[in-house]
Chains A and B, each alone.
Chain A
Amino acid sequence: MKPSAAVIAMALGALLLGGCAQYDSKRGVEVNWQDTVTTQLVNGQSTRRDVLALLGPPSQVIALDGESALYYLFERSQGKGLILLVYNRMQIDTRYDRAIFFFDQDDVLTEFATRLYPSDEG
């Protein structure tokens, strides 16, 4: 028995209605804290002005009882999805590139740390 044209059309329609999705979301400040940049900063010598000149305005400024911290954050979400109508699946991975710089009361850099995911090192 051969399937009718209507059945073939339905099956084909179901196949054609399936799809996939992909998206990339980026939020935050521009990533400027690559190792090549932060090697120019020295604890006890560099100042807040140096950090701001190198990295630009931060995501957040935190006051710490006379001292202060600059926080830089770049948030990247990557999603991929399979849409088959009957079964749909979305996977979203979010990673945080970040850097934090601590300054004493004289605005001199005391400590800093950075984290950069390889795909954002560009």
Chain B
Amino acid sequence: MKVSALKVFCAALTCCLLSACTQWHYDLGAPLDNVALPPENTSLAEALQLLGPPLRMSATDHGFVLAWEHWNIREQSLGFSLGAMGADFLSADWGDMRVKGDFLLLTFNEHRLLTSATRSTWDNDGGGGQSIQPFFNFVSVVDADDLTESMPQHHWGSYLLQSLPGTLNESSSLDSGRGGLQQRGTPSAVGQQSLRMD
């Protein structure tokens, strides 16, 4: 049986329209690859000159901690749906996420001298999933929301306007600048956040 070129073309075009690939690339902050860790007893002024203002900061019992970070997130998903053929009752999706980053944490004592400097670098699988869902896509197979949220400084003024559990726990909030700090993507069910009970 001979299949006409026209039919092949139509079939190929239809197949193309039924599936789609989506990629999201996030680049947060400036790369820290070329930044050398300052030695112990470096003064705060020298550290700031070297690294610029930190992205995160918190007071501690005997000084404070400063943190710099850079995130590179690649999210990709592939979806297949019969919707274009009038059978919009089933869709199949696949998603995957890759997370790369650097985190630099400097601790200063009450004399503003560096007591410790640590760097964390990672290139990990950020998760992913597959789904077959009827009618609507209820579940997103890749979720990068907690990694791409805005910086906590933007919300600082509204901490006392949270729901009661959050307000009562404000003194130990990780975003207040007084209760420590945390990296993006830290699970909310551990540490100080778990005290909010929400």
**Do residues A65 and B53 form an inter-chain contact, with CB atoms below 8 A?**
no
A7-B6, A85-B20, A87-B20 given; A27·B154 CB < 8 A:
yes
Q: How far is the CA of A73 from the CA of B28 in the complex (A)?
A: 14
Chain B interface helix/strand/loop/mixed: mixed
Given A71-B57, A75-B151: A88 in contact with B17 (beta carbons within 8 A) = no
Q: Which residue in A10, A14, A62, A95 is a CB contact (below 8 Å) of B58?
A: A62
B103 is an interface residue with CB less than 8 A from chain A:
no
**B59 proximity list for chain A (CB < 8 A):** 62-65
Query: Contact between B17 and A14 (Cβ–Cβ < 8 Å)?
Result: yes
- Whether A3 lies near B57 (C-beta < 8 A) is no
B27→A94 contact, CB < 8 A: yes
Q: Report if A40 contacts B (CB, 8 A).
A: no
Q: Knowing that A64-B59, A102-B112 are A-B contacts, what are 20 other residue pairs whose CB atoms are under 8 Å apart, sorted by A's residue number?
A: A14-B17, A28-B154, A43-B45, A61-B177, A62-B177, A64-B63, A71-B57, A73-B153, A73-B154, A75-B150, A88-B21, A90-B24, A91-B27, A95-B30, A96-B29, A100-B54, A111-B48, A112-B48, A114-B52, A114-B53
